[in-house]
Amino acid sequence: MVDSISTWKYIFLDTSVIIDLLQNPERLEKNKKHQNRVIDTKKLFNYFKLSKEKSGTKYVFYISSVTISELTLIGDDLFDVLLQIFSSGEITFVDFTKEIAFNISKNVKSFVPKYSYNQLVSHIEKNIASENSIINTRNWVEDDLKIVCSAKLLNRLDVVLTADEKTFSPICENLKVPFIKTTEIPKDMFDEINASVSF
């Protein structure tokens, strides 16, 4: 169970959330579901900003180094953009460490949802069968798994936010990491964030 938004202080962000924050919802007219998710995510971060301004609430936003590597495709000004987006709190980058890598390698079957695990095994078998292939265990594991495992090892964590319902959310469930899909952010009758509802 995840406590209400009003109690959150330590928030881990999946890559999908940061990408949604960078998008312009007006350009998503053809995909209303995606557009609404982006709007709701922006409302949530506006709530964090207003909460900081009104009551001095301090937030810590965790971002995985794996996410940073995925986002470097956006451009050189990535860190400036992140600082602007997360002006309502402190940004802490979480390294993908050897400890996390070894933990994943040892326990991959219990971490990955069954359908993803079967895809992973097929991929490995195909690479082993092909000549001159170099097998690197780290490449076998999805980035989502690396990110979730990074979150799991944090001492202080209230919630992981994600927009990814297909792989990231099931991995969080399997690892028993507290997470919320941004499509499930509670709103009041005025379509604003309802920070007092527990999940």
CATH classification of the domain holding 10: 3.40.50.1010
Q: Is residue 195 part of a domain?
A: no
Which range has the worst mean pLDDT, 5-19, 55-69, 175-189?
55-69
Q: Is residue 91 part of a domain?
A: yes
Q: Is residue 138 part of a domain?
A: no
pLDDT digits (tens, 9 = 90+) for 82-101: 777 777 678 888 988 888 87
Q: What is the pLDDT of residue 68?
A: 84
d(CA 62, CA 60): 6
Q: Into how many domains does the chain fold?
A: 1
Residues 61, 11 contacting (CB under 8 angstroms): yes
Residue with the bigger pLDDT between 154 and 135: it is: 154
Q: Is residue 118 part of a domain?
A: no
Residue 77: pLDDT band by 50, 70, 90 thresholds? low
Q: Is residue 111 part of a domain?
A: no
CA angle 95, 57, 159 (to 5 degrees): 45
Please give the residue range of the domain that contains residue 55.
5-96+144-184
With a cut of 90, say whether residue 132 has pLDDT above it. no
Residues 180, 186 contacting (CB under 8 angstroms): no
Q: What is the pLDDT of residue 27?
A: 92
Residues 163, 148 contacting (CB under 8 angstroms): no
Q: Is residue 192 part of a domain?
A: no
Q: What is the pLDDT of residue 131?
A: 47
Q: What is the pLDDT of residue 134?
A: 43
Residue with the bigger pLDDT between 20 and 127: it is: 20
d(CA 185, CA 180): 7
Residue with the bigger pLDDT between 54 and 96: it is: 54
With a cut of 70, say whether residue 76 has pLDDT above it. no
